[in-house]
Amino acid sequence: MNDIISKNLTELVKNIKNKKISSEEITKSFIERAEKSKTLNCYITEDFESAIEKAKKFDNKPNFKCKLPGIPIAVKDLFCTKGVKTTAGSKILNNFVPTYESTVTQNLWNEGAILLGKLNCDEFAMGSSNETSFFGNVQSPIDKNLVPGGSSGGSAAALAANLTPITIGTDTGGSIRQPASFTGTVGLKPTYGSCSRYGIVAFASSLDQAGPMAKNVKDCALIQEIISSYDLNDSTSIDYKRNNYSELLTNNIKGKKIGIPKEYRVENMPNEIDDLWQKGIKIIKEAGGETVDISLPNTNYALPAYYIVAPAEASSNLARYDGVKYGFRSNGKNLIDMYEKTRSDGFGNEVKRRIMIGTYVLSSGYYDAYYLKAQKVRRLIKNDFDEAYKKVDAILTPSTPSSAFAIGEKTNDPVSMYLNDIFTVPVNLAGLPAISIPAGNDSKGYPLGLQIIGKAFDEQNILNIAYSMEKQINFKNKINDWWI
Amino acid sequence: MAIDLKTVKHISKLARISLEEEKAKKLAGDLNSIFEFIEKLNKLNTDKIEPLTSIAETTLQLRKDEIKSKNIRDQILKNSPAENKDFFVVPKVVE
């Protein structure tokens, strides 16, 4: 049994196609593991009985032409799943059962995958530590005192702890890449418009993207080719040629030019992060790539601009939670009182904070000073990347300015929490694809990640670079099952 | 620029989130440290820069306005917090 859960996706698919193991065996193995791993608090909603039924059904009438034949998968609880509770980690949605399926998850089921359940995340994906979830924080499988990162913290922890062979997260400012980096896993944020936003609980619509999280780059490429699709149900979905990324994957990166942006060497960054970065540069050179010093001069302004744009869009998106048509309601003496009490009791502190920021920057008299200003800065950030990509094919940076921090360490200081996303946020503002791969451990033994940023729609190229680096890094995640 | 308690209360009214005095004070503190951070942007001259409103910068796609989900009325009403089989119910609005 233990043998099954530690296999990566590619191995599982191969074994199932060779009829060495059944979907039921695989599904039960991951469920058994989840039953033993409740301490981690990865799941918000388990759908185990239904998963076993579906697995049996698959085994009775298997379709081996699918890319994910009978493979059980748990997903972030931000994706609407038809008939299965979807909470977004919030009290305000704690009893919401969608009547429709998100496009991204539907794409998984169309390839034969089976839903295991819904994974914990920061409330409405607002957080970098999975501590803002109404359903409690997630403990990292790396160490019990550590956060798994966020907002896709339950996803990252479940993947690293072998509760699911791959998973799906969402990334608005780093919510796939930062938890991947903290847990020694691979996470890809695709180009804006690559994966449909239909059926994903909205946070900041111009930044949100769904993406795969996996144990290795090949699995990640396979999931990306499955979930990425042009979708008329998302008006910002983009019609472009999508590859079979996993088939075209190559570790030949000879002659590729990789930019090293000097602005990512930030103040107070631990030496270990810089060393890791240098290691990455060396590995690229050894593989025949060329590194080029570049400048992204407005990098420093990305995070403040993000903390205008994202809350502004969130305040607008979250206006729909009013206690009328679905979700939680508090009683009030009249309609307005009901709205105000519902939203006060239903949203957690971080969500309220961001709604307040967003409402303020969009309020009369402040729009130009904040929101318009931030959109202009966003243009400058994008121009920086456009300029850099005249000279290079991709950009290499650390994924985060530190390794995972302790539970509770940053909860009282929102700005220090926000600073965690300093290397990931510019990518969302510019709509680019980026992947985080595990690249080493710090002195405490905690995983550290490197980020490869690509040109828009150039997922194949960053997957190839990641694939090449992965082989040379040969990272082994140190997980001692402390919770069992 | 400091955000005072009065402003916090005004924003909470606009956002339709009721706030107790204590929480409003705490929030004022948080917002001030966040805006102190945000105001770094003022160092940057953006007079001649076009705002970036959408990363895709294409015309939004249109699709046919067709009904695709049928007979989901009961399912949808089931999610309503007020128990009623036929309508969404809110506190009395008209006397």
Q: Which residue has the tokens 């399912």?
A: B75
Inspect the interface and report whether the beta carbons of B40 and A356 lie closer than 8 Å. no
Taking contacts as CB-CB distances below 8 angstroms, the residues of chain B near A303 are 37
Taking contacts as CB-CB distances below 8 angstroms, the residues of chain B near A192 are 55-56
State mean pLDDT over A189-212: 97
Question: Would you call A197 helix, strand, or coil by DSSP?
Answer: coil
- H/E run at residue A425: helix A425-430
Give yes or no: A254 in active site.
Answer: no
For an interface test with A, give the residue of B16, B21, B35 to mutate (most A CBs within 10 A).
B16
Closest CA of chain A from B33, distance in Å: 7
Whether the pLDDT of residue B1 is over 80: the answer is no
DSSP letter, residue B2: -
Report which of A102, A105, A106, A117 is spatially closest to residue A46, judged by C-alpha positions: A117
Question: For domain B5-43, is the CATH number 1.10.3470?
Answer: no
Q: What tens digit of pLDDT does each residue of A159-195 get?
A: 999 999 999 999 999 999 999 999 999 999 999 999 9
Question: Would you call A280 helix, strand, or coil by DSSP?
Answer: helix
Q: Are A89 and A79 in contact (CB under 8 A)?
A: no
Q: Which residue has the tokens 């030019």?
A: A257
Q: What tens digit of pLDDT does each residue of A40-69 get?
A: 999 999 999 999 999 999 999 999 999 999
Inspect the interface and report whether the beta carbons of A323 and B81 lie closer than 8 Å. yes
Inspect the interface and report whether the beta carbons of A355 and B52 lie closer than 8 Å. no
Taking contacts as CB-CB distances below 8 angstroms, the residues of chain A near B62 are 235
Q: Which amino acid is at A273?
A: I
Q: Which CATH superfamily is A2-258+392-473 part of?
A: Amidase signature (AS) domain (3.90.1300.10)
Query: How confident is residue A1, by pLDDT bands cut at 50, 70 and 90?
Result: very low
For an interface test with B, give the residue of A86, A360, A380 to mutate (most B CBs within 10 A).
A360
Residues 6+ apart with CB under 8 A from A81: A75, A98, A101, A102, A105, A115, A118
Inspect the interface and report whether the beta carbons of A232 and B78 lie closer than 8 Å. no
ipTM of the prediction: 0.95
Closest CA of chain B from A270, distance in Å: 22
Cα–Cα distance between A176 and A189 in angstroms, integer? 7
State mean pLDDT over A427-443: 97
Taking contacts as CB-CB distances below 8 angstroms, the residues of chain A near B79 are 95-97, 99, 325-327
Helix then strand count (H, E) for chain A reads: 16, 11
Q: Please tell me which of the candidates B17, B41, B93 has its beta carbon nearest to residue A352.
A: B17
Strand A186-189 versus strand A434-441 pairing type: antiparallel
Q: What tens digit of pLDDT does each residue of B34-63 get?
A: 999 999 999 999 999 999 988 876 777 788
Residue of chain A nearest B57, judged by CA positions:
A236
Q: Please tell me which of the candidates B37, B69, B81 has its beta carbon nearest to residue A304.
A: B37
Give yes or no: A229 in active site.
Answer: no
Q: What tens digit of pLDDT does each residue of A235-262 get?
A: 999 999 999 999 999 999 999 999 999 9
State the sign of the Cα–Cα–Cα–Cα dihedral A382, A383, A389, A391.
Answer: negative
Q: Are A192 and A166 in contact (CB under 8 A)?
A: no
Question: Would you call A473 helix, strand, or coil by DSSP?
Answer: helix
B47 CB burial (10 A radius; 0-12, 13-18, 19+): exposed
Residue of chain A nearest B74, judged by CA positions:
A99
> Got the DSSP string for B8-66?
HHHHHHHTT----HHHHHHHHHHHHHHHHHHGGGGGS--TTPPP---SS-SPPP-----
Residue A325, both tokens: 């048509």
User: How many CB atoms sit inside 10 A of residue B68's CB?
Assistant: 7
A29, A128, A129, A175: which is the annotated catalytic residue? A175
Closest CA of chain B from A300, distance in Å: 9
Closest CA of chain B from A98, distance in Å: 8
Inspect the interface and report whether the beta carbons of B55 and A298 lie closer than 8 Å. no
The whole-angstrom distance between residue B18's C-alpha and the CA centroid of its chain comes to 14
Residue of chain B nearest A312, judged by CA positions:
B15
Residues 6+ apart with CB under 8 A from A291: A257, A258, A259, A260, A281, A284, A285, A396
Give yes or no: A7 in active site.
Answer: no
A7, A67, A76, A218: which is the annotated catalytic residue? A76
State mean pLDDT over A110-134: 98
Q: Give how far Cα A163 sits from Cα of A170, A190, A235, A249, A305, Å.
A: 19, 24, 34, 26, 37
Cα–Cα distance between B62 and A115 in angstroms, integer? 31
Cα–Cα distance between A428 and A432 in angstroms, integer? 6
> Got the DSSP string for A316-355?
HHGGG-SSSSSS-----SSHHHHHHHHHHHHS-HHHHHHH
Predicted structure pTM score:
0.97
Q: Which range is least confidently modeled, A12-16, A329-333, B55-59? A: B55-59
Whether the pLDDT of residue A353 is over 80: the answer is yes
Inspect the interface and report whether the beta carbons of A379 and B30 lie closer than 8 Å. no
The whole-angstrom distance between residue A65's C-alpha and the CA centroid of its chain comes to 28
Cα–Cα distance between A390 and A299 in angstroms, integer? 18
Taking contacts as CB-CB distances below 8 angstroms, the residues of chain A near B80 are 324-326
State the sign of the Cα–Cα–Cα–Cα dihedral A98, A101, A103, A108.
Answer: positive
- H/E run at residue A303: helix A302-317
Backbone angles phi, psi at A264, to 5 degrees: -85, 0
Chains A–B, number of C-beta pairs less than 8 Å apart: 162
> Got the DSSP string for A5-73?
HTS-HHHHHHHHHTTSS-HHHHHHHHHHHHHHTGGG--EEEE-HHHHHHHHHHHHHS--TTSSSTT-EE
Residues 6+ apart with CB under 8 A from A173: A207, A306, A310, A421, A424, A425, A428
